[in-house]
């Protein structure tokens, strides 16, 4: 079975993240969306809410699991028995950063990273921008997956 993790903060989960997951499902049997807990980041949504929103979005897809973790990404991958890490990249800067992390992860744990380039129309979408729009009470519906519930 080909199992991967898709790690991130996902604050919030955007249409860019959704696109990466959907495309990765074409060659992975199972994807664990791993929500990393990073005390150094100021998040908009608490971890429980992020888990709930993403889990609800994929509730009918048995190939997707949603979990949070508070350790190195490679340790999380090993905990869930994933052999691959999926990452989406939007820019050359993203590529350079992800290449370095992928090299370290391969050396430390033998885990391969698969980079998926963001679809051109989604390169402007980032969780940071969506959080800022939320802060100013702007409509973010075009930037999050259809059917994703932001409020209770």
Residue list for the binding site for ATP: 9-10, 17, 88-90, 98, 122-128
- Per DSSP bridges, beta strands 64-69 and 30-36 are parallel
Tell me the binding residues for substrate.
9, 41, 73, 87
* Cβ neighbours around 1 below 10 Å, total: 7
CA angle, 76 as apex, 112 and 33 as ends, to 5°?
Answer: 80
> Which residue numbers belong to the known binding site?
9-10, 17, 41, 73, 87-90, 98, 122-128
Beta strands in the chain (DSSP E): 3-8, 30-36, 64-69, 84-89, 112-117
User: What HEC string does 28-48 produce?
Assistant: CCEEEEEEECCCCCCCCCCHH
Residue bearing tokens 């979990």: 67
């Amino acid at each position: 079975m080909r199992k991967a993790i898709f790690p991130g903060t996902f604050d919030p989960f955007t249409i860019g993240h959704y696109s990466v997951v959907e495309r990765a499902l074409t060659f992975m049997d199972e994807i664990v969306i791993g929500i990393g807990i990073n005390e150094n980041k100021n998040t908009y949504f608490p971890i429980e809410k992020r888990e709930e929103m993403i889990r609800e979005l994929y509730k009918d897809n048995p190939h997707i699991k949603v979990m949070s973790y508070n350790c190195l990404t490679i340790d999380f991958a090993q905990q869930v028995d994933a052999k691959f890490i999926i990452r989406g990249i939007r820019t050359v800067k993203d590529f350079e950063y992800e290449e370095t992390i992928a090299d370290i992860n391969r050396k430390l744990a033998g885990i391969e990273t698969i980079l998926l380039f963001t679809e051109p129309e989604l390169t402007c979408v980032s969780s940071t921008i969506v959080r800022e729009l939320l802060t100013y009470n702007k409509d973010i519906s075009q930037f999050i997956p259809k059917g994703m519930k932001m409020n209770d």
